[in-house]
A = this chain, B = another copy of it.
Amino acid sequence: MCGIFGIDGRDDAANHVYLGLYALQHRGQESTGIVAWDGERMRIERGMGHVADVFPASALARLSGSRSIGHTRYSTAGSSVVENAQPILVKTSMGALAIVHNGNLTNGLTLRRRLEEEGSIFQTTSDTEVILHLMARAPRTDVVESLTTALAAIEGAYSLLLIAEGFLAAARDPHGFRPLAMAELDGGVCFASESCAFDLLGARAVRELEPGEVVVVRDGRVESHRLARAGTPRRCVFEHVYFARPDSVVFGDSVAETRRRLGERLAREAPAPADMVVPVPDSGLYAALGYARESGLPFELGMTRNHYVGRTFIEPKQSIRNFGVKVKLNPVQEIIRGRRVVLIDDSIVRGTTSRKIVRMVREAGAAEVHLRISSPPTAWPCYYGIDTPRRAELIAARKSLEEIRAFVDADSLAYLSVEGLLSCLGGVRSSYCAACWTGDYPVSIAGEDRRQRELFPAVSDEPG
């Protein structure tokens, strides 16, 4: 879960990337970085934290040139160090190369071990660096060919951007797990994880990359290459459910509209005897609108969110009830008191946050709390870039629906069905990856990678 943005053919390219990353900040706030090529040198700026903090004007001024890529990274456990911030910039006999990557390789560690055995030295613990080493070792023909040779060896989910001294390349894995779109901006070509980044810059969206496509922008011309390895599309539904910004178009569908359809379908699948529909802000907003419309119940903003929330909170010695959630969310008692509430959220991961929210709503005086989730139970970990915890920590992997309801202390609980969810999406149903709900993984995970996964699963803040 990261955001990437790149542009070629505009002066001040890094400044455009900076704004693009700004629009993609919701995809990761742990670290960020930009590389720019000015025709002579690649320069890099990276740092921990938000885009606005990492790049003062002086940093952007150093990043001159008309070709640039950037990255904003989600926090995952065990690697919160600036060395792992992307882009990764290296010097090779092909000249300088820089890369950013959104996704997760399923054979990254296996490849890394093999490369290390052959004498490669890695700078980071990131999968992404494997791609550069594969390129450096590819039989030398030209740099684009080195890239496609390297991509032929890797498996899993990736949408990536790479800049070399002669071009900018964008690539999407054969299954197309993660989104990546292309736009045009007065003679420049840009790429972004989500279309909202184009809107900010006033760029005109052209199209999404095809799964398995490599687009190269060289001397102002756009070429399209195809990876030899074929794959059936497996777009990540979670982008629509939770991760993307509502004002983005992802996999061809409006996220806001998709979420509203999920809410409408949820209202049909799981009605509730209540007085009002209240979203958990901001994740449940559009689904709640859909639920309210379909059910005829009034839509109420019964909970507010504090948008000035920063990195760390220092709790007083005397513990505050439901502290973690309260810092972000506060119910509006005058709206909720004495009423039966349908609470809409997008997902339940470990269940602890949902439990705190339900309790907070009860303490604000709600007569009843009916929790409705606009996606199916998350019961399987994701190997393709969504930072879910290991299976044992997923509440839906261990407990029945009734047990979960009891745990989160709701009067009733319902999830959307997989069938229902898929019916709300455009295109062919089989073109989506629903592994986190079904356990049906489109790409298996290599041996060394699997072992590592089991030893050190990602442990992160519960996203919902």
Contact = CB atoms under 8 A, between A and B. Distances in A.
A119 interface: yes
Interface stretch (A151-159, A162-170, A221-229, A295-303): A295-303
A136 interface: yes
A51 interface: yes
Given A196-B330, A314-B57, A330-B199, A285 B301 contact: yes
Contacts of A301: 246, 256, 285-286, 289
Contacts of A249: 334
Most buried by B among A22, A55, A93, A303: A93
B50 A308 contact: yes
Interface string A307-336: 111111111111011000011001111110
Interface string A400-416: 00000000000000000
Nearest to A129: B121
A11 B314 contact: no
Given A90-B122, A137-B119, A254-B334, A316 B200 contact: no
Nearest to A116: B93
Interface in A221-248: 245-247
Contact of A132 (B121, B304, B312, B313): B121
Contact of A315 (B15, B52, B306, B313): B15
Contacts of A51: 308, 310
Contacts of A26: 306, 308
B136 A318 contact: no
Interface residues of A, number: 87
Contact of A136 (B121, B136, B289, B298): B121
A53 interface: yes
A200 B50 contact: no
Contact of A123 (B60, B123, B137, B303): B123
A41 interface: no
A4 to B, nearest CB: 16
B256 A332 contact: yes
Given A50-B308, A314-B60, A119 B120 contact: yes
Contacts of A293: 298
A71 B176 CA distance: 47
A330 B307 CA distance: 17
Q: Identify the 3 closest CB pairs spanning chains A and B, nearest first.
A: A52-B310, A119-B137, A254-B334
Interface of A: 10-12, 15-16, 18-19, 22-23, 25-26, 29, 50-53, 55-57, 60, 90-93, 113, 116-123, 125, 132-133, 136-138, 140, 186, 196, 199-202, 245-247, 249, 254, 256-257, 282, 285-286, 289, 293, 298-301, 303-304, 306-318, 320-321, 326-327, 330-335
11 contacts: A10-B318, A15-B316, A15-B317, A22-B327, A90-B122, A200-B326, A247-B333, A254-B334, A256-B334, A256-B335, A307-B307
